[in-house]
Amino acid sequence: MSIASDSQSAVIQIMSDPMNVTFKIGEEKKFDLNNDMFYDLYVKLNSIINKKANVTIRKINEPMVGSAVDGNEDKNGIPLVEVNHNQSQTEKPSVSIVDNWRMYLIIVIFALSIFSIIFHLIKVRKKEKEIGKLRKRG
């Protein structure tokens, strides 16, 4: 993402099929990332403060409605459509599948680490008890 020198707009790069789109503060757009005539992504530039952009990004699944913005097309010629401000935005932000798998992997590794430590402590205590019994006998 890059912030314009006047801090009134930002260029946000969408990585599905990379495209750079300039947003003005308060501007919102929807994108069809897989050419299925449904919007997949909602993006809004909320503010820019100290060269840092506050952006709302939501995964959505809405049929394409609205009018294309003249001259705003991605590199494949697919029109970018202005969002109708009266449409409700009920979908909550989501995490990508890749991020979900990373999270699950981290949880599994953490759980295995804890299990391994507990197993090791139990094994050490058993050996200590056996050594204590042998010392009492001998």
Of 107, 104, 64, whose CA–CA distance to 87 is shortest?
64
Each of the 138 residues of the chain gets a pLDDT tens digit; together they read 566 667 778 777 666 667 788 889 999 998 888 888 888 888 899 988 888 888 888 889 989 875 444 455 555 555 555 554 443 444 444 445 556 777 788 889 999 999 999 999 999 999 888 888 888 876
Q: What is the pLDDT of residue 103?
A: 78
Q: What is the pLDDT of residue 38?
A: 87
**Whether residue 118 sits in one domain with residue 88:** no
pTM above 0.85, yes or no: no
**Whether residue 9 sits in one domain with residue 56:** yes
**Whether residue 120 sits in one domain with residue 81:** no
> What token pair was written down for 109?
């590794």
**Whether residue 78 sits in one domain with residue 27:** yes
Distance CA 24, CA 31 (A): 16
Q: What is the pLDDT of residue 79?
A: 56
**Whether residue 87 sits in one domain with residue 41:** yes
What is the number of domains present in the chain? 2
Burial of 14 (0-12, 13-18, 19+ CB in 10 A): middle
Q: Could you tell me if residue 37 is left (phi over 0), alpha (psi between -120 and 50 degrees) or otherwise beta?
A: left
SS3 letters for 32-100? Answer: CCCCCCEEEEEEEEEEEECCEEEEEEEEEEEECCCCEEEEEECCCCCEEEECCCCCCCCCCCCCCHHHH
Q: For residue 8, give its domain range.
A: 2-93
**Whether residue 131 sits in one domain with residue 64:** no
Distance CA 28, CA 84 (A): 9
Q: What is the pLDDT of residue 91?
A: 43
What residue type is assigned to position 128 of the chain? E
**Whether residue 61 sits in one domain with residue 30:** yes
**Whether residue 113 sits in one domain with residue 62:** no
Of 69, 87, 89, whose CA–CA distance to 79 is shortest?
69
**Whether residue 101 sits in one domain with residue 137:** yes
Q: What is the pLDDT of residue 102?
A: 78
